[in-house]
Amino acid sequence: MNLAILSTYPPRECGIASFAKDLRDNLTLWGQNVKILAITDNGSSYTYPPEVVFELHEENKVDFTASAEYVNSSYTDIVLLEHEYGIFGGCDGSYVLDFVAHLKKPFILNTHTVLSQPSVSQKSILMKLGQRAAAVICMTRRSAELLHEVYKIPLNKIYVVPHGVPVFREKPRERLKEAYGIAGRPVVTTFGFIGPGKGIEIGIKAIAMLKAKYPDILYLIVGETHPKLKKREGEVYRESLEKLVEDLKLHDNVRFINKFLTLEEIGDYLYMTDVYLTPYPGRHQAVSGTLSYAIGCGRAIVSTPYDYSLEVLANGRGLVASQADSEELAYLIDRILKDPVLKSQLEKKAAKLGKTMTWPQVAKSYVEIIEEILQNRRGKALPLKG
């Protein structure tokens, strides 16, 4: 099949871009021909790889119409539209509606953010996209419920496909710690783009509470400030975290790895981790790619409660606090560090789920959904499944 993906795309540093690249690469492994319609942020210029056939500047409304017309005139069977409010131009990313209004090919809407309490504008955009889409993919059952209940998308259009996880090469924890100069230390890790809303300060305060019991504990905060935030505010948030570390006298216990990581580096940091921590304060986060990666690597995980963590860490696959509270996170981290049996159980259960979330399997699910939709449109086959 000839497919097109509308999304941000590397070398742009963006979580959706990484997702689109992984999806594209794994769809091609299943024999699909996939081209990319890449969304470029304001004032940036990227040297895109050959699969990028059209570049849209997010604040140039005309580009959204032109890209739809390009697809209409090309050998494209279906478009995968990666939806996140912040990557399209206009209020709440409304320019994506111009793309859809002019598109004559079917499209699948892939939702990365499904809000339980959207603004009027956010709700209207997602409802319109859902009405026009041939199918809507989300990554959790909770998101599927919201798409139906809040955004009125019919159940027979909705598919749940997990967030894909790279197939990481497993490495021995203690050998990695030696290589990185932290042998013998208990390691807690959070990785991903840094910015307010990630709750890193909650994690730092939890480490401060654990320092007396574990003097050599090390909290690795791995990842750079989100590029959009850096353009807007510079390093204000990171500097506030560094000041907090200084105030709490945690110079030897917190380390910032301020860079955009390769997959190999992500694997290293995850496999040397004793406890993976997601301290997000917001309860309505529909998906977390970084938490998915930690599950894929079979880590013992502690998390604050939000939609994605509550679903994927259920049934003993991780420890979830009752609220975004440093003291409770410290208690849960301590439970794992002092109990090797519990740690091993959590790692095994996470790894078992992780095996079902690898990108080759996820891409196969996409291929099956696309084939079903195209057969259905040709009047041959089966009703869509909810």
Rounded CA separation 42/172 (Å): 42
What pLDDT sits at residue 236? 93
Rounded CA separation 290/276 (Å): 10
Rounded CA separation 231/208 (Å): 31
What pLDDT sits at residue 381? 42
What pLDDT sits at residue 283? 84
List the domains of the chain with CATH numbers. Answer: 2-164+358-377 (3.40.50.2000), 173-355 (3.40.50.2000)
Residue 165: name the closest of 51, 302, 266 by CA: 266
What pLDDT sits at residue 379? 64
What is the end-to-end Cα distance of the chain in Å, rounded? 23
What pLDDT sits at residue 233? 87
Distances in Å between the Cα of 100 and the Cα atoms of 7, 128, 171, 382 are: 14, 9, 45, 25
Instruction: Convert 373-384 to b/e letters by CB count within 10 Å (16 or more is b).
Output: bbebeeeeeeeb
Rounded CA separation 386/376 (Å): 14
Residue 115: name the closest of 125, 107, 106, 105 by CA: 125
Q: Which two tokens stand for residue 133?
A: 């889409």
What pLDDT sits at residue 47? 95
Residue 98: name the closest of 41, 151, 60 by CA: 60
pLDDT along the chain (386 residues), means of 10: 96 93 97 97 90 96 98 97 95 97 97 94 98 96 96 96 93 96 97 91 98 98 88 90 97 94 93 97 86 96 95 96 97 98 97 95 96 81 42
Token look-up 């439970």 returns 335
Contacts of 210 (CB under 8 A, 6+ apart): 217, 330, 333, 334, 337
Token look-up 């057969």 returns 375
Which tens digits make up the pLDDT trace of 218-264? 999 999 998 888 888 889 999 999 999 999 999 999 999 998 888 89
